[in-house]
Amino acid sequence: MAQIGSYVPAESAQLGLFDAVFTRMGAFDNMMKGESTFMVELSETSDILKQATPRSLVILDELGRGTSTYDGVAIADAVLDYIMTQLKSFTLFITHYQSLTRLAERYDGQLKNVYMRFTETDDDVGGQNVTFLYEVGEGIAHRSYGLNVARLAGLPDGLIDDARQKSQHMEEEESSRRLLNLSRFMSTALKNGNGMELDRFIAGLDRL
């Protein structure tokens, strides 16, 4: 906001001027050019990566959401790594991919996780009400609150209850899959005496 001469809602601020501000936000198709949402997303990201400098501000919102989860995570990871190691631009990288929060460990303090703070209170039917505070806090949000947003949006209660059960079922399936994979790693490591496999097993336990 200071970059454009706007009021900054803070007690104090000290910053230099950026040579450019690049943003990649929103989701839409380019029907005139026959481009999907994902193609538009990557085309705009490509333009940013070609033009940004160490003195630029880069804002990327939910990169990778227009394709499959695995491809989306991989692309988001690669783009963030490129920005950190090659461009070295000041960057705000917004994502719901929980796995990307672990990248903060990779860059020796140059990357920091923050999230928008909220409060939780129990409701009358055994659920939780979430109040979004619109304040930035250090750390990560450990789970998604999509069901709470669905309630705020006015979706029918029966639909939300059904979605909650399906979400819980999918989380349990994912946990079971991870445990199975970890047990296979452990079995292979113990059989072969492979220290690298043991390290992967321990790292996997940290992610559960």
Contact call for residues 25 and 37 (beta carbons, < 8 A): no
Query: In the prediction, which pLDDT does 84 show?
Result: 94
Q: How far apart are CA 87 and CA 89, in angstroms?
A: 5
pLDDT tens digit string along 153-183? Answer: 889 989 988 998 998 888 888 778 878 877 7
d(CA 148, CA 81): 32
In the predicted structure, residue 199 carries a pLDDT above the cut 80: no
What does pLDDT average to over the chain?
A: 82
**pLDDT for 166:** 92
Q: In the structure, what pLDDT confidence band is assigned to residue 76 with cuts at 50, 70 and 90?
A: very high
Give Rg (Cα) of the chain: 21
pLDDT at 188 exceeding the cut of 90: no
For residue 30, the model assigns a pLDDT of 66
Highest mean pLDDT: which range of 37-41, 51-55, 183-187: 51-55
To 10 degrees, the CA torsion angle through 154, 156, 162, 167?
A: -10
pLDDT 10s digits, 130-158: 788 888 899 888 777 788 888 888 899 89
Average pLDDT over residues 187-193: 69
Where does the pLDDT of residue 189 fall: very low under 50, low under 70, confident under 90, or very high at 90 and above?
low
- Whether 111 and 103 have beta carbons less than 8 Å apart is answered as yes
| 47-60: average pLDDT | 95
- Please tell me the distance from the alpha carbon of residue 183 to that of residue 194, in angstroms, as a whole number: 14
